Amino acid sequence: MKVRLATKAGFCFGVRRAIDLALKVARETPPPIYTLGPLIHNPQVVTLLTRQGISVINDFQNAPRGTLIIRSHGVGPGLLEKARELGFRVLDATCPFVRRAQQLACDLTASGYQVIVVGEKEHPEVQGIVGWTNGQALVVENPAEAATLPPHPRVGVVAQTTQPYARVEAVVKELRRRMGEVTVCDTICNAVVERQEAAFELAHQVEVMVIVGGTVSANTRKLTDLCASTGTPTYHIETGEQLRPEWFRGVKTAGLTAGASTPDWIIEEVERRMREMADREDITNPEEQVTTPEGDVTNAEQELQTTQVKSLRSGDVVKGVVVQVGQDEVLVDVGAKSEGVVPLRELSCCNVSSPDDLVQVGDEIDVWVVKAEDNEGRIILSKGRADAIRAWDTLEQAYQNGEPVKGVVREVVKGGLLVDLGVRSFLPASQVERGYVEDLSQYVGQEITAQIIELNKGRKKVILSRKVLLEEEYAQKRQETLSTIQEGDVVRGVVRRLTHFGAFVDIGGLDGLLHISEISWHRINHPSEVLKVGDELEVQVLRVDRENEKVSLSLKQVLPNPWDQVGENYPVGEIVSAKVVRLVPFGAFVELEPGVEGLIHISHLADWHVVKPEDVIEEGQEINVKVLSVDPENKRIRLSLREARKNDDNKYQDNNQGEITIGDVFGDLLQKN
């Protein structure tokens, strides 16, 4: 029997990120460490994490204080805040795609939309999204439920990231029939769509489909339903022990796929057992084969495994479990009478300083048998060579299909970075980011996603580009932003560039212009007086030109308008302090406070005829002026320096009560003498 694995199966980006974060925390953080609910919907992985010291709790209020990991499904902001208030160190492993759905739901609610979530009401991801709307979102699972919702003038739609596109489109169609404005946000994970499409296509080409994943995993159940809809017999299992030989009797080709929460080692184990069942079907009587619910293997299978161990020889690639990690070597149990040794230099295709950077006790890894027995009777293994064998097939397929690959940056070399993809790969400095990067060392140790732009297996040459993916992502964000943004929206952005006429702000793949006149309520000569590159700020959208992909922004519109309070702050007749900011032929403009300027007409500068304002005052001078009139609507205030000085003179005369002393008349003369 031929076993075909779907082109997309197993861990998605968000799940892998959550597990990597959890394992790193387990290595670096003292206990207790918790996950709020299962980190992912896979009991085998949860068990593995438990062995690493990570406990699952559903209520943290009475738990001893420690580190709390938020699972990939995410939670509402209230839970995050409560955990921090109680003294927990909170690490958020929410999937980036789920986080985006949460933020969109939050923004839509803040903008006055009735948010509708398409998904399963009891699923933790959906409950988390609802939490980001202060509990105001409504959840529907299908068009029939959407038809029962009360009409609303403005509706915003987000979807659980694992929902099928067809279901969401059907719900949106029903909402548009009954609601007013309907804004749809695309929150379905592309990896989920690709996995479903690959499974559906494979189910049409095989006689039996096996779906591997947790029974409570929503995306795995959807894969099962999707494959079953093709008419192909479909079986949902969690581990290889649940496989049954009768499923494959007389079957020539079987298909295999897995949900996003299923690790590679479970997929590989299921695939191995399926092939072994097919082999046993060929050499034994099916009636003599017995597979117990506990997963006991037959004598024939045990004998085959024993033979494989005895015939272990150089060049074999076998699976093993890491049992000990030393400073310069790793011990691996490969099922032989003794553990094999992986020297530090054989751990990776690139230089590594410590085995801990790559493997941990309990990890299941593929190893290449370098020597079945050396002079000391040890089995010498290589993880790097085994990785390379598997990697070349994966890389060639990714290169042909134009798919991105993931690897860890190991070194900075002349002209770029060395990336571990199972084989040494080169990422030129010009392809690291969309712009120039001065310090490449910041990427060492990071896992990156890149596109293969050149591959030559014969010369062992792999050239990568991260810039290509970033440009695609930026273009996608730009189109998404253009399609959803509306005039009047308040959005967050990052200052990317300053010019003499304003600043360009990235609001999600799209650089909007923040004109200098819209930066502040008070006059500035250059944007650098208020902003600097890298600043994060909220801005209001003034105009959207979708045809030319241009957006005009305003910062001052989200700031308090000082003119709203000028009537109260500067009543007519009041003497106030001001600063001369500009002299003009007809008078002077003075600043009462940032953003509020008034005019002193030339006739109100002094009680004599003034030819030029600079004969009386100068720029930067602090003076007292009298408020003559206030017009907030037209942003005008008339002021008088002359009247203010008259008031000062009157006060002086009042204080002296009209009496003139000898000191007033001869004081200067007496001082000189």
The residues carrying an active-site annotation are 125
The H-assigned helical ranges of 455-510 are: 467-484
Question: What distance in Å separates the CA atoms of residue 253 and residue 319, rounded to the nearest whole number?
Answer: 25
Q: Which stretch of DSSP H or E encloses residue 664?
A: helix 662-672
Per-residue tokens: 17: 């990120």
**6 within 8 A of 210, measured Cβ to Cβ:** no
For residue 131, what are the CA distances in angstroms to 97, 117, 136, 606? 16, 12, 8, 65
Instruction: Starting at the earlier edge strand, list the strands of the sheet with 253-258.
Output: 2-5, 253-258, 208-212, 234-237
- Greatest CA separation found in the chain? 135
Residue 263: other Cβ atoms inside 10 A: 21
Cα separation, 164 vs 143, in Å, equals: 13
C-beta neighbour count of 493 within 10 angstroms: 23
Place of tokens 């602090």: 622
For residue 32, is the peptide bond before it cis, meaning its omega torsion is within 30 degrees of 0? yes
Q: What DSSP letter does each residue of 41-58 carry, written as one string?
A: S-HHHHHHHHHTTEEEES
Q: Between β-strands 154-159 and 181-184, what pairing exists: parallel, antiparallel or unpaired?
A: parallel
DSSP 522: S
Q: What is the CA radius of gyration of the chain?
A: 36
The 3-state DSSP composition of the chain as helix, strand, coil percent (nearest 5) reads 35, 30, 35
**What element of type H or E holds 536?**
strand 536-545
Separation of alpha carbons 129 and 73, rounded Å: 9
CA distance 256 to 274: 9
**Cβ contact 152:159 at 8 Å:** no
* HEC letters along 220-234: HHHHHHHHHCCCCCE
Which helix (H) or strand (E) segment holds residue 69: the answer is strand 67-70
- What are 576's strand-pairing partners? 625
C-alpha dist (Å) from residue 182 to 51, 590, 605: 48, 49, 60
Among 160, 232, 216, CA closest to 193: 160
CA dist 19 and 41 (Å) reads 12
